Amino acid sequence: TLKFLNVYRIVNSISSSNSFVLFTVFADDVWLVDCGDIEPILEWMHDNGKTLIKGVFITHSHYDHIYGLNNLLSIYPNLRIYTSLFGIAGLLSDKLNLSRYMESSFVCAVKSNIFEVSDNEKICLWNNVFLEAFFTPGHDKSCLVYRVDNSIFTGDSFIPGLKVVASFPNSNKEDAVISKSRILSLSKGCNLYPGHGEIYENFQLEKYI
């Protein structure tokens, strides 16, 4: 099959979280998975002739994965932010997104730009290129995994070689185990992009069972 999707990784200054730019050679617009530092995103777009960020898919609403959203909204006022119902609550509460306990508090400035995603929902990114969302609670109630073609974005729900952190107020250890098993079944043979750490091309699940 033709590989339409390209992915560019940005390692953020807070907690070394990953943001990903999703792009194709035939479109001027891009999508993001998570949003930390926006300067490197804008720089990359300028260097690569991309003009518009259409939306951001949030893997979960912890501060280190969302803190760039308000800056991005000030540049792209029509930006669409996709997350789960719990994720919406997290974007609007510095207690739920844990930023209350960090150096700066974060609350998403524009509620009307946030769209709720449901489990197994498919969203069209470009003509014939769809993103599919999967609920994967455990690390946080808001956790989602996204798959486009053979690329899967796992956030902090699954980082190969690391135990899922399930010690936050809205974590659940039992859910984390169920979600990990779901993610492993979705990930086989995919390129895996976690919320922290390296990218795993053609992910081989046998190593992690």
pLDDT in tens, 31-52: 999 999 999 999 999 999 999 9
Would you state the pLDDT for residue 4?
A: 83
- The 3-class secondary structure across the chain, one letter per residue, is CCCCCEEEEEECCCCCEEEEEEECCCCCEEEEECCCCCHHHHHHHHHCCCCEEEEEECCCCCHHHCCCHHHHHHHCCCCEEEECHHHHHHHCCCCCCCHHHCCCCCCCCCHHHEEECCCCCEEEEECCEEEEEEECCCCCCCCEEEEECCEEEEECCCCCCCCCCCCCCCCCHHHHHHHHHHHHHHHCCCEEEECECCCECCCCHHHHC
Q: Summarize pLDDT for 164-195 with one digit per residue, the tens.
A: 999 999 999 999 999 999 999 999 889 999 99
Task: Please report the pLDDT score of residue 138 as a whole number.
Answer: 98
pLDDT confidence of residue 60: 98
Output the pLDDT for position 205.
Answer: 67
Q: pLDDT at position 189, please? A: 86
Model confidence pTM above 0.85: yes
For a pLDDT cut of 90, what percent of the chain falls above it? 90
Residues in the chain with pLDDT values less than 70: 1-3, 205-209
Q: What is the pLDDT of residue 43?
A: 98
